[in-house]
Amino acid sequence: MQKKDKTRRKVLIGLTSAVGLSGLPFAATPFIAAWNPSAKAKAAGAAVKLDVSKMQYGQQIQVAWRKQPVFIVRHTEKSLAGLSNVTSKLLDPNSDQISEPYKGLHSSRSKNPEYSVMSGVCTHLGCAPKYFPELEPKPWDATWSGGFFCPCHGSMFDIVGRVYKGVPAASNLLVPPHMFEGSILTIGEDKEI
């Protein structure tokens, strides 16, 4: 067991974005530690664990699972309350058109109402959407309510990864299986499904 632990590499996952939301003070947290499985286990698609308790409200981080980016966002109550303001702009607000593991559980689309966990791969042609949490006019949307914008062809997603109508991407960002044990998030495994 000890030997197995030693083979695990403790890696630092850089924050892809760290932005205060709606004027919230933001104390920079430069890195979040994740404990990745061995290379062999990784190749087999092993789960990735990380402690999300140090994330700031409104912050987005990125980790790799199965060599693909996964976005995690920690929401404020205010930002979640604002989700209803964009519903009419969304193509599939209830994720009826995709297979979603935690559909209807929380507005965050995850197992935890405070965090969203979603694929960081644009559902159009696979680029990486960027996180823009600010509620302010943007070049791509004069009434931007915060969320993700894909720079490749202009697809827009809200802060929980739901796609807008009239953009190239045709479906919401996918939600991987995950679970929370306290503040420890495991991506790629859920003992309940």
Q: Which of 18, 50, 159, 169 binds ligand FES (CB under 6 A)?
A: 169
Q: Which of 8, 9, 153, 165 binds ligand FES (CB under 6 A)?
A: 153
Instruction: Enter the tokens of residue 15.
Output: 């924050």
Find the angle CA(101)-CA(18)-CA(157) to the nearest 5 degrees. Answer: 45
Q: Cβ of residue 73: shortest distance to ligand FES, in angstroms? A: 18
Instruction: Enter the tokens of residue 13.
Output: 């996952």
Confirm if 36 and 11 have CB atoms less than 8 A apart: yes
Please tell me whether residue 90 adopts helix, strand or coil conformation: strand
* Nearer to ligand FES among residue 64 and residue 152 (C-beta): 152
Proportion of the chain in helix, strand, coil states, percent, rounded to 5? 10, 30, 60
152 lines the binding site for ligand FES (CB under 6 A): yes
91 lines the binding site for ligand FES (CB under 6 A): no
* Nearer to ligand FES among residue 124 and residue 178 (C-beta): 124
124 lines the binding site for ligand FES (CB under 6 A): yes
Confirm if 92 and 98 have CB atoms less than 8 A apart: yes
**Footprint on this chain of ligand FES (rule: CB under 6 A):** 122, 124-127, 150, 152-155, 168-169
